[in-house]
Structure 1
């Protein structure tokens, strides 16, 4: 028997069309939730995630949303509640990953990064709590680069992900009386299309990881599932690293 079941719950995962977001969407469906997710470009890949969710016997909804557009983010949240009947879990996963030397980072890169990595989680959370009941969950996906930076070029990205620490703590405090928890999961090096475990920098990165290897998207998804379920009810305002000891 699954004591951390999400039966009867509805989740929204932003940036759920691939990588960590897709793994989270499927894992929440495995735990019993109906799952909506946003994606930006790849309809075919999004359709594949929908099929995985439906194969588990759960309802699925894929929404094409540009996380840099606050009106689109709000509309997406409202659609989930309207079409699936409720919203219990929000996973703010969509992210912009723009790196480069300080002198070469443009204001456009700054605006894009802040829009997707900071404003979108704020706006989505603001919209979601209008629909959430007691027992609601907001889970932000950050990065271990907010806590330890070992390579140059991360100033903009690290800054944006560090903002989620403050947002998580403040919302955890504010929403606690409504029995809505807010937590931050910071993945480390995770084997995805954008950062493959056999990539050119993998050996160097593995040298910084206590466990000596990349994580899998399912490792992050497992932590999200824990926080989303009944077992996570007494955890809020917390930052949890899923990074194999990179920041230890």
Structure 2
């Protein structure tokens, strides 16, 4: 064998050895990654990320307003401090970018927060990575544009809107009020300025009212934007937009004043 042929043979053997070393390294890396994923369990992907692991966003964050801190998350008129913070949407950016109506935008805010809270509860975590939030936003947006809502407008022409926060610690009194003759003239809708939709559903079950076909309006329907798209200095819940073409009667517990956030054309009665 010539020197040149020996050199070529050694070169081939060396290349094979290098290839095997690289292959072994990739295999070990994959094994380590799989082992880490197994250790993380079903909540993999829901842990807080290091800065260098952040993904490149598609720009959904421009639709979110800064989150209200816990110490400021209360409602003076309902005399409550809210347990859960939500993401309020920038309705101006949302409506102009996605070409949504006020009604569609406010339901998108409601359904997005509802899905995020369910996700946290299902996974047993307090934090959802932003890529999961972004994915949820687009999924909910598709549902909204397909006409899907979690708050379904009653078919009755008249709706009886009962502000329930003053009754939260006295469910029996509220149940008795629902038996009054005037309550049978319209479809009941419970509205809360303190509870999220998830919390309101849980409260309904505990109070024994969960099977009465009562529609729910939670505080995720509030927005600091008017129906004309103007950013205001206070929150609004526009019943004319959420309950279009309905005769609206709002029932307030005696001794309480109607909340200033309630907007629209409606009649008010004491309950």
TM-score tier (shorter): under 0.3
Find the structure with the greater CA-based Rg.
2
